[in-house]
C-alpha cells in the first residue's frame, strides 16, 4: 500500500483564522514515520490482572471486588470457565443507572429529579435488592458504554479511535478469541504519562497550556456541599456525566463526586442511609478511608501543560483534573477528563499497511455476545 509523504506537524498553535489542531497529528505521514507511541500493540499495554465475574454474581459483592482491585468496570462472563463468551462490561455508570431506577422508578426525565424526604424510606428498604441484583442483569444498563473487542495486535492509534464513538474500554482477545486484558482510557493515560520516548512531541495538544486546550470541558455542572448524595447522583445521571464538582456558595471548588464513589456504598457504608448525607461529608469520608486528605480534589493551574495534567492523573490515580484560577480562590475554570485527553491523541489520515484479524461480536439466541475471530481477506 502506498503511503503519503511525511509532513511533520510543527507542534505549535496555528495562526488566528486557520483550522486549529484539534486531534493529535493532522497531516498525512508515512508508516515509516509513524511514532511508536501510535503503533504500540494494545496487547502489550495491559499488564495487570484480568478480573472477570460470572453473570450471576451479586452487585454488592461486585462493588467489593472492583473496590479491592481499584477498577471501575469488570467483564461479565456467561460462565466462570469460558473467556470467549462475554455479556459485556458492568461499570460504575451502569450501577449508577440501576441505583437511579430503584430510587425513582424511571430512567429519563424532562428536568433533574430530586428526592423528597419521604422518598428515602422506600429507597433504604431497597438496599438488599440493590446488593443482590445479578450483574448480568445490568450489563450496559446505562446505555453509555457499548461493548467492543479488538485483537491484541491492534495498534493503539486504531484503538483510540473507538473512544470518540462513546466506547470507554475495549476487551482485548487473542487468536483463540479468549479475553486476555482490557484496554481502558486509564491504561492509555498511564502509558502516555510514563512511556520513555520523545514520541509524545508529535501530539500538539499535549504541549499547550491546559487552559488553551480546545478539548477541555468549560461548562461545569456542580452541586452545593449540603446537597444530598442521592440528589448529586441524580444530577450526574440526568446530565450524562461520570462526575460533578462540589462548590461552596462562593463558587470555591471543595470536592468531587464521581460514579466510582458508588464503591463507597459497599466499602464504608452498610445501607442506603448514606445517600441522605450531605455530599461533601460523604466524599470526604471516602477520601479519608482511601488514605487521602479528606478534602482531596485533583486540580491544576491554567498555565500547566496538558501532558503534565495527564501525568498528574496517573500519579493521583484520578480520571479528571479541575482547572482553577488560583490555589487561593480555587474557582473552577473547567475540567480535563481522561476522555478529553484521549481526543488529543487521535491521529488523522494515518493509513497503516498491516491487515489484522478482526473480531466479530454476534448476538446469540441466549442474549449474550460470543467473541469470535473472523479473518479479513
77 phi, psi to nearest 5 deg: -100, 155
Q: Does domain 31-205+346-374 have CATH number 3.40.50.2000?
A: no
Residues belonging to the chain? 377
- Rounded to whole angstroms, the Cα distance separating 144 from 241 reads 10
Q: What is the mean pLDDT of each run of 10 residues along the chain (377 residues)?
A: 27 35 35 65 87 94 90 87 80 95 88 90 93 95 89 89 80 89 89 71 78 90 96 95 96 96 80 93 91 93 93 92 96 93 67 28 30 29
Cβ count near 164 (within 10 Å): 12
What's this model's pTM, rounded to 2 decimal places?
Answer: 0.81
Cβ count near 41 (within 10 Å): 15
Element (H, E) at 186: helix 185-194
pLDDT of residue 53: 94
Grid look-up 490515580 returns 317
pLDDT of residue 368: 28
**Which option is the CATH number for 207-343: 3.40.50.20, 3.65.10.10, 3.10.580.10, 3.90.850.10?**
3.10.580.10
pLDDT of residue 30: 39
Cβ count near 110 (within 10 Å): 6
pLDDT of residue 354: 29
CATH code 3.10.580.10 region(s) in the chain: 31-205+346-374, 207-343
pLDDT of residue 353: 27
Rg (CA), the chain: 22
Amino acid at each position: 500500500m502506498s503511503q503519503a509523504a511525511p509532513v511533520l506537524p510543527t507542534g505549535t498553535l496555528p495562526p488566528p483564522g486557520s483550522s486549529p489542531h484539534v486531534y493529535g497529528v493532522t497531516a498525512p505521514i508515512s508508516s515509516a514515520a509513524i511514532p511508536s507511541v501510535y503503533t504500540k500493540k494494545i496487547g502489550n499495554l495491559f499488564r495487570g490482572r484480568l478480573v472477570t465475574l460470572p453473570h450471576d454474581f451479586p452487585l454488592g459483592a461486585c462493588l467489593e471486588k472492583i473496590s479491592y482491585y481499584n477498577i471501575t468496570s469488570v467483564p461479565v462472563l456467561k460462565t466462570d470457565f469460558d473467556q470467549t463468551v462475554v455479556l459485556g462490561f458492568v461499570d460504575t455508570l451502569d450501577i449508577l443507572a440501576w441505583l437511579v431506577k430503584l430510587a425513582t422508578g424511571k430512567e429519563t426525565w424532562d428536568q433533574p429529579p430530586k428526592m423528597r424526604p419521604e422518598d428515602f424510606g422506600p429507597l433504604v428498604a431497597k438496599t438488599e435488592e440493590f446488593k443482590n441484583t445479578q450483574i448480568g442483569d445490568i450489563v450496559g444498563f446505562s446505555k453509555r458504554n457499548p461493548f467492543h473487542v479488538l485483537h491484541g495486535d491492534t495498534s493503539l492509534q486504531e484503538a483510540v479511535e473507538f473512544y470518540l464513538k462513546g466506547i470507554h474500554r475495549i476487551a482485548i482477545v487473542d487468536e483463540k478469541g479468549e479475553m486476555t486484558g482490557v484496554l481502558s482510557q486509564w491504561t492509555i493515560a498511564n502509558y502516555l504519562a510514563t512511556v520513555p520516548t520523545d514520541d509524545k512531541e508529535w501530539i500538539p495538544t499535549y504541549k499547550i497550556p491546559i487552559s488553551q486546550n480546545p478539548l477541555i470541558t468549560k461548562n461545569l455542572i456542580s452541586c452545593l456541599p449540603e446537597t444530598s448524595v442521592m440528589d448529586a447522583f441524580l444530577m450526574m445521571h440526568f446530565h450524562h456525566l461520570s462526575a460533578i464538582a462540589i462548590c461552596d456558595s462562593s463558587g470555591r471548588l471543595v470536592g468531587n463526586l464521581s460514579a466510582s464513589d458508588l464503591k463507597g456504598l459497599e466499602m464504608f457504608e452498610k445501607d442506603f442511609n448514606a445517600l441522605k448525607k450531605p455530599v461533601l461529608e460523604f466524599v470526604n469520608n471516602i477520601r479519608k478511608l482511601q488514605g487521602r486528605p479528606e478534602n482531596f480534589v485533583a486540580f491544576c493551574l491554567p498555565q500547566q501543560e496538558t501532558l503534565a495534567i495527564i501525568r498528574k492523573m496517573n500519579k493521583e490515580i484520578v480520571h479528571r483534573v479541575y482547572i482553577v484560577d488560583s490555589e487561593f480562590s480555587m474557582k473552577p475554570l473547567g475540567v480535563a477528563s481522561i476522555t478529553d485527553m484521549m481526543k488529543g491523541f487521535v491521529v488523522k489520515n494515518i493509513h497503516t499497511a498491516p491487515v489484522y484479524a478482526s473480531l466479530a461480536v454476534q448476538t446469540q439466541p441466549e442474549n449474550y455476545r460470543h467473541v469470535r475471530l473472523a479473518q479479513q481477506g
